[in-house]
Structure 1
Amino acid sequence: MAASAAADKVYFHVTPPVKAIPCLTPFGMKLQTYLRMADIPYEPVYGRSMGPKGKIPWIEYNGEAMGDSGLIMEFLNREKGVDLNRTLSDADKAVSRAFTKMVEENTYWGLTQYRWIDNYDKLQELFEVPWIAMIFLRHAKGNVKQKLMAHGIGRHSREQIEGIMEKDLKAISTFLGTKPYLMGDEPTEVDAAVFGQLSEIVWTAPGSYLHRIVTVDCPNLQAYCSRIKDRYWSDWDQLTGNTNH
């Protein structure tokens, strides 16, 4: 637990930034972006310790540890009186939930397949860990492979997975169109979720088929990510150490 935790303060447990991106987990990017959108102050606690649900990110709040980015957001909405979806109709909220679940229950796994299975040899450089850590990453790769099989996406061929991912990403692109944010002129919770996934593609997967889709085939997705980054991540270069940009 965070030392001498202050009352009503959010302690955000997350993996440390790397050169490519402030956080290598899409759900960490999602939750931090939400905290910034909602103007909720938080203190990052960098490390790789797992939360109460055996995953990262997680938070501590008034001595209580909580996991799951979606449930954390629901809790903080109630606790802090936040409602980023206040302007949305019930139908818009339904669409937002559908897109959130698509990217987190499907698109995420395609990204996981790309990162952990198809490009495992690039993990050491991406994670910025010493070679000895690859022993642990090899073990993690086995666990990831089991999870991909259990989900179902790991049972498909590479071509089939790429086709699934292309349909997901083009669905987001089509719905976004020329709007600044998914649901209109101002960001809502779904933007935190979608940015969480897309940011990993834009900034950690150069040269991949995923990167081609979001930059060449669907340039509005790249512009969308840059828009959110510019609005909410003014410290991006500071966090990633890219102070020359």
Structure 2
Amino acid sequence: MVIPKENEDLIAGFTAESVFNFLGGKYRATYRPLNDAIIAGRLRGAAGVVGCNNPNVKHNYAHIEMAKELIKNDVLVVVTGCSAIADAEAGLLQPETAFKYAGKGLQEICEAVGIPPILHVGSCVDNSRILITLTNVVNEGGLGEDISDLPVAGAAPEWMSEKAISIGFYFVASGVFTVFGTPHPILGSKNVTDLVCGGLEEMVGGKFAFESDPIKAAHLMIEHMNKKRQALKLKPMMYE
């Protein structure tokens, strides 16, 4: 076994509760700056990138490339578990990362608040807490009445276990557009594929998509955010 000698710094510890203080300070803790940044077009939206590594995919590749593509397009990314470790190993969980990879709007947010463009929000068992964060965004106001109204998306670019399927389903059931990377067995059934990739949206507000290429998958997420922004009649993106 060869253990690499290289190491990378990272900033972690972002939670649904601590974001209040990061954005508003100790005495005016609030999600308002995040909502305002999305409304004004400084941020396009937010994405959760989670899930395991998959031996059928080049190690860490899909996690890292998807995250880079999203932040380049002014999407704030939150990560958990193996995906967070992949980004940390690539040096992406540092505030300085914004000035190398992020779009101008996201750069401004990171500089003002002092955060990385990709936020480590916990282990894989903390995925449900991303939904708490989204609930806080809805409750803050100005971005619709339900999680399904928000310009947000989720992804598991290298999923490999049944656990990832259950996590994906509760995100979809909560109204989040969710992209899975490596091919899924249900694609063998047209009826089931039509249901999870379309019919579910009419019932619960969220749906699945399947795309192995992390860049193409990122743009599916970006396209979804743009549609949600249009539906909310938000301002155009500030730097496009």
Q: TM-score, normalised by structure 1?
A: 0.28
Structure having the higher helix fraction is: 1
Q: TM-score, normalised by structure 2?
A: 0.28
